[in-house]
Structure 1
Amino acid sequence: MNENPIRSEKKTVNIFASIPYQDQFWKGNLKTYKELLEHIGFKVNVLFGPESAGVKEWQQIPRANFNILISPWYGQSIVEHLQELYGQPFFKFPHIPIGANETEKFLAGVLEFARQYDTGIDYEKAQAYIKHESRAYYEEIDNLATFLLEFRYGLPNHVHVIHDAGYVVGLSKFLLHETGIVPKEQFIVDNTPDEFQQSIRMDMNNTSDKKKIPLVF
């Protein structure tokens, strides 16, 4: 008897995202992805770190309805392999979702993808949760802006980011759209394979329709 039948749990997903230890924020990132997705109705296997059930969770990878890749390139070979092995489709979000704008896009993308696969998710409840969390987030941003203006602390006008591809694009979008700090030259230092560089450039170019952000690999 197969204890882990393939795609047997319609609301279960596997997440492939931050690389443990290479990304210094990996534990917090995986914890947050798990919490967000659970709040909109999914059961989530994060596979690594304190939020994982360990070996048992790895054994249950085949049960998931689909996989989620949060990455510009690292982890793609894994989800492609699982698609071939178990027929599990995957949803890809090409950078780390930082701030409300990108987090809303990420969650909306997951929900839209899930509609194709009979997950049984309560979409109205999920949308209500996203709106509630966004309101809370922007209240804090508003409080921070008031503090900065009140006490006249200065913010820089421009920023350079030196990091891996997921962070460079994610931080650039956050800083431009949610703080008004303009990204100048951005530097990706994770030895991105050549076949992924063009898609990352396109993702960065979609950050602004008014300014091209220079990107160096």
Structure 2
Amino acid sequence: MSKCLFYGTFLVVAANVCLAAPEPAVVQRPGHWTVEVKFEQPQQLILSGGGSGLVRFWYMILTVTNRTGQDVEFYPRCELMSDTFQIVPSGVGVPPIAFEQIRQRHQGRYPFLEAMSKVENRILQGEDNAKDIAVIWRDFDSQAGGFKVFITGLSNETAAIDHPVAVDGMGQPVRVFLRKTLQLDYAFRGDPAMRDTAQVVFKDKSWVMR
């Protein structure tokens, strides 16, 4: 199979998945909830990598407040996807010292900052129980001109669709389960390869099923 045919097939499948994916409900159904979330601009953190030189990380701070009227389970998860289609899960390959440096940098404004991987799996109601959470990624493709951040676990709304290609042993489409996800879009201003000086620009915020 030629590379052109492979990429063409990949794009068609990706397009079908996007077209088939439902959108989150405009008005939530009974039993569904979504917590309130505020977010800071993504920032860089540079650490010494010992013999490997300097290592770059990216992070952002979320403030999550439960105004749903009930205590809810909270299992947040976050991925960064560059516009070159590199996906970087938060926390993977991130040493503890990275969070410690971020905590010290922001302790004046966020004295109770927590790493996403350490957050308790239940969030109580009210502003007094709001959680400040640091989300951290390793650096990504230096050729990327922008990226998206996907945050799940902020809502219990889900949906199921048929996979456009995969089938099970009975020849039936495999069911794909999607969760209401916050999508944040960013772009680099300036030369993205010059990460030290490139400015991150916020582009859009939306809720998607992913």
Q: TM-score, normalised by structure 2?
A: 0.24
Greater relative CO, 1 or 2 (CA 8 Å, sep 6+): 2
| Greater fraction helix | 1
| Greater fraction strand | 2
Q: TM-score, normalised by structure 1?
A: 0.24
